[in-house]
């Protein structure tokens, strides 16, 4: 029973690390700094792998434990850990939606800039060809 609670606490710890990582990177994203995006996703994946492992361990522990043999304090501690997990997961989901929105906005800005560059390039190339033609006419 103590192992189950320990595993749940560890899982919550890594969920909080995930949440804190989101918070740190959100500050960078809000200022338009997406330089660490790849590292950010790599760090998140590592944390998720640990959480997945802990979930497997928790499932194994739960399979051999019966709620009927747990005392009141153990049940209360498990309930408390589940509540912490719920709060952190709710916050992470909100953060992930915000992060996706910021990334999507930046992606749209980049696409717009590329389209503007393409238009400007066409405009400049048209200007250059008429200038060359004018210079040829002047020389003739």
Quote the pTM value.
0.76
Q: Averaged over 81-108, what is the pLDDT?
A: 95
**pLDDT value, residue 82:** 96
How do residues 36-60 score in pLDDT, each as one tens digit?
999 999 999 999 999 999 999 999 9
Alpha helices in the chain (DSSP H): 2-30, 37-64, 72-139
4-13, 14-23, 100-109: range with lowest mean pLDDT:
100-109
**pLDDT value, residue 98:** 95
Closest CA to 8 of 109, 76, 69, 91: 76
Q: Averaged over 30-34, what is the pLDDT?
A: 91
**pLDDT value, residue 100:** 94
Region of residue 33 (left: phi > 0; alpha: psi -120 to 50; beta: else): beta
Examine the pLDDT at 130 and tell me if it is beyond 70: no
């Amino acid at each position: 029973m103590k192992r189950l609670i320990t595993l749940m606490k560890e899982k919550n710890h890594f969920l909080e690390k995930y949440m804190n990582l989101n918070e740190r990177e959100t500050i960078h994203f809000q200022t338009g700094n997406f330089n660490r995006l790849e590292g950010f996703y790599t760090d998140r994946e590592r944390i998720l792998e640990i959480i997945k492992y802990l979930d497997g361990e928790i499932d194994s522990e739960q399979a051999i434990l019966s709620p009927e043999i747990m005392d009141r304090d153990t049940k209360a501690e498990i309930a408390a850990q589940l509540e912490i997990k719920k709060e952190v997961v709710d916050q992470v989901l909100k953060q992930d939606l915000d992060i996706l929105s910021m990334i999507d906005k930046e992606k749209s800005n980049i696409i717009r800039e590329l389209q503007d560059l393409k238009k400007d390039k066409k405009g400049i190339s048209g200007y250059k060809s008429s200038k060359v033609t004018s210079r040829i006419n002047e020389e003739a």
